[in-house]
Chains A and B, each alone.
Chain A
Amino acid sequence: MGKTLAEKIISDHTGKEVAAKDIAVVDVDVVMAQDGTGPLAVSQMEKMGITKVKKPSSSILFIDHAAPSPRKELSDSHIVLRRFAQKTGARLSDTGEGICHQLLVEKYVCPGDIVIGADSHTCTSGALGAFATGMGSTDIAVGFALAQTWLMVPGTIRIDLDGGLARGVFSKDIMISVIGKITSDGATYKALEFSGNMIGNMAMDDRFTMANMAVEAGAKTGLFPSDEVTLKYLEAIGRKNCFKKMYADPDAGYEQVLDVDCSRLEPMVSKPHTVDNISPVSQLEKVKIDQVFIGTCTNGRLSDLAVAADILKGRKVAHGVRLIVVPASRDVYLQALDEGIIKDLALSGASVMAPGCGPCVGVHQGILGDGEVCLSTQNRNFKGRMGNPNSFIYLSSPATAAWSAVKGYIADPREVLV
């Protein structure tokens, strides 16, 4: 029998042929931690008595979750990471450079790689055709030390995307709807592999959004094959040489195949407090909002900011609504400046912040008050996620978020994108 993408990549890294459910110790290509998980990884490495990082040029510490630091304790954690990088030669990505997952795809990950990261959304890099998965700090400490990890080869759910998207409907809407079908634990221990006629037309930004949210269905990773679109993306950012065509064998074995007719989809939201609690925007009662957040490793890329700016240009954010925009990386920020996107957003009333995770993790830059409602383009809406357990988070595409910011309640972007 042929191999799924996950089986292929893991086999390539073990020197033997492996299939779903096998346990394998693999060499890893890229290892990373961020400022919330990195300090613990550093201290775990110390406990192991290991001082050397095996592959410093592809071991990265990202300061993105609380950057710039809002508190002394976190500033001290940042110092720990800077010192570790200085001592070991590991790479450091400091305040303002952007979100780990965005910088990984911009600068580090190649198709066919194995990537492990102390952050659950490490699966984002799966959009490049890499096996990328989140782990805890101790696993990442071992990754820094040995450039190895152990894995159980996952079985795969293939998601066949067919049909075109209607205007106003985006890859975020597809993924929210897929998670609603699979549920928040339906893909636990499994890989998602995206396939079907539609993906050839799907831009990298849209693929990143979908791979990013694979973990919200419990999945270990979310994989796209690497193709012409991947090649063009890597070419445009000067990394053409790392392209490799990755695809599943036609006779690979899947645990399940899920068919999605994208032409039937409409703008979707996840309602509080789980990602799989979904609804079409058209079926919501009028949900008034206090804050809108456009950004994150899910939807803080150039095309996300562009669609928001298209909607917000010449309009004003509704009275009583705070709009926060955070570009995913410095490159995204600079391009958005060049294209006038940032100006349009700022003129509409948005607070545009430095690249990073922003308010998504509940540390700073937009913590919600008691009883407040936020519509966010982030990937999860668990109780307390944005720093206050007495608040309510809805998730949507950037278009829905932008139009809702204008209206003051969760609104259907098809009203404006006609």
Chain B
Amino acid sequence: MEEKILEGKSFKFGDDISTDLIAPGRYFHLRSNLGELAKHVLEDADPDFARKVKPGDFVAGGKNFGLGSSREHAPAIIKLAGVGAVLAKSFARIFFRNCINVGLPALICDTGSIEDGDRLEINLASGFIRNLDKGQEIRFNPLPKVMIKILSDGGLTEHIKKNKGFNL
């Protein structure tokens, strides 16, 4: 697992942020142009998000983040926008798996106390999030071992390339 500490500002979202809100269907034609699609990331949840987000920032959602379609473009453009990790009380299954596959840390934790704009420090290896503005510590659930393996190889593509198949 990566040792590095992530630090950034959080953007707070509510429950049930669907992949339609993250990567809207009306931009379907941009799916083979992720750079352009990323300009619309999370547009229907926060129209200004793509303009405001800085490399290393975090997305903090409520429950069932990423529900809906299997479009991997959703986590891919969140990562492309520079987001360091997505935090949520719970994730929809396919979205969670896609995050790991594209190498975007998805952390399950109690995001209730995190407010929009809070600066966070995340230690992926130790499982702790420090809210620098509030002085609080939040634990996140460790990922399943297979996912740690995929994530530490840099995503599923790299894992398969390196091992010439699954090595979980």
Contact = CB atoms under 8 A, between A and B. Distances in A.
Interface of A: 23, 25, 36-37, 39-40, 44, 47-50, 65-66, 71, 73-74, 76-77, 80, 117-120, 122, 134-139, 141-142, 145-146, 148, 150, 152, 184-185, 188-189, 218, 220, 274, 361-363, 367, 380, 382-389
26 contacts: A36-B31, A39-B31, A49-B161, A73-B30, A73-B32, A77-B32, A117-B70, A135-B70, A136-B75, A138-B101, A138-B156, A139-B97, A139-B156, A142-B160, A145-B160, A150-B166, A184-B67, A185-B63, A185-B64, A185-B92, A362-B26, A363-B28, A383-B21, A384-B44, A385-B25, A388-B26
Nearest to A137: B72
A48 B157 contact: yes
A218 B157 contact: no
Nearest to A69: B29
A48 to B, nearest CB: 5
B45 to A, nearest CB: 9
B25 A363 contact: yes
A77 B94 CA distance: 23
Interface of B: 16, 18, 20-21, 24-26, 28-33, 44, 63-64, 67-73, 75-76, 90, 92-94, 97-98, 101-102, 144, 146, 155-157, 160-161, 165-166, 168
A28 to B, nearest CB: 12
A48 B70 contact: no
- Most chain B Cβ neighbours within 10 Å, of A137, A138, A145: A138
Contacts of B157: 44, 47-48, 138, 141
Contacts of B166: 25, 142, 146, 148, 150
Given A44-B157, A185-B63, A218-B92, A138 B72 contact: yes
A220 B168 CA distance: 21
